Structure 1
Amino acid sequence: MSKAEIWLIRTYWDFEFPRPLLPNFEFVGGLHCQPAKPLPKEMEEFVHSSGEHGIVVFSLGSMLKNLTDEKSNMVALALSQLPQKVIWRYKGKKPETLGSNTRLYDWIPQNDLLGHPKTKAFITHGGTNGIYEAIYHGIPMVGIPMFADQPDNIAHMKAKGMAVELNINTMKAQDLLDAVNTVIHNAT
């Protein structure tokens, strides 16, 4: 490792905080980003039905399979109060408070949804792929970081005005509702 001629860093310099780096470090954050592709027909119909309010994309990543019943019902209650339609990547038990504006999916074409012209906000755990896709498509974020690099990623996005941060352990339905409305309607 000490003989490496180049180091590729999976971040991008303008989203980093200042720090010294050697000349052989190259930033490659967002290298995976690409233009959105068309959505599956059923999903496109749901997105199109959102009218002028648009949609919110919600994913806590592939590592988190579900939430407690209490937490999922709290989240679903908050989402049900939004005027936007919500596409939520969620594999757990269907929340009792799920609103008619929210659809659950085991898997979503995240980049394609973030690149859709009707997308207004992204609720994310702050994984690297998702934050760079949101940056690439210009979508503001509500960050709910949980572990690994997620808290640091969301701290960077918050500092750069791209996100509002919530704590999964202490947030209430009103907190989530307020955060989504803030990123959609106000500068963060």
Structure 2
Amino acid sequence: DLEDFMEASGDAGVVILSFGSYAKAMGRRKAEMVAAGLARVPHKVIWRFQGQRPKNTGENTLLMSWIPQNDLLAHPKTRLFITHCGINAVYEAMFHGVPMVRVPAFAEQHGNSDNLETLGTGVTLDIFTMTSDDLYEAIMEVANNKT
């Protein structure tokens, strides 16, 4: 049950990850890189993922082909949202006050991310060049920034 997973996160809380339509286009190597970064964080992770489960998926990570994104962002255990910066995702995260690691991939997502940068809502990573270390460090930086 999703609520049990959220509550089992303790004080560390939960990271929500959704790359929107890029989730279908993500190759095996990129998925394994993301899984490696997520496996290192102290948080539980809910990852909207479509495809073959990466072999290195951490015990802390729940893969789901669909997530109730707005409900998860509203949950008090949610600490961080890793997003592709689609406008609906951005609005939902901002409405609920959830800090973001922004990973834009296409079109207007880059502009949305740039606009969010001026608001100090987190950090931006390049989906095409980021490493598992980059992802881990971005998560830890944003999750530990209490401002």
- Considering only CA atoms, is the larger Rg found in Structure 1 or Structure 2? 1
CA contact (8 A) 1:66 1:92 kept: no
Equivalent position of 1:28 in the other structure? none
Alignment of 1:34-113 (within 5 A): 42-62=1-21, 64-113=23-72
- Which string of whole-angstrom CA distances, capped at 9 and with x for unpartnered residues, describes residues 117-154 of structure 1? 00000000000000111000000000110112100001
CA RMSD of aligned residues (A): 1.2
Higher helix share: 2
Secondary structure at the aligned position of 1:65 is classed as helix
CA contact (8 A) 1:161 1:187 kept: no
CA contact (8 A) 1:57 1:113 kept: yes
Number of equivalenced pairs: 147
Which TM-score applies when normalising by structure 2? Answer: 0.96
1:179 and 2:135 equivalent? no
1:116 and 2:91 equivalent? no
1:161 to 116, 120, 125: 120
Cα deviation for residue 67 of structure 1 reads: 1.5
- Which string of whole-angstrom CA distances, capped at 9 and with x for unpartnered residues, describes residues 67-108 of structure 1? 111111110010000100000000111001100000000100
Structure 1 runs, 4 residues or longer, greater than 2 Å off: none
1:170 to 124, 129, 143: 129
Which TM-score applies when normalising by structure 1? Answer: 0.76
Structure 2: stretches of 5+ with no match in the other structure: none
Structure 1: stretches of 5+ with no match in the other structure: 1-41
- RCO higher in structure (CA 8 A, sep ≥6): 2
Secondary structure at the aligned position of 2:62 is classed as strand
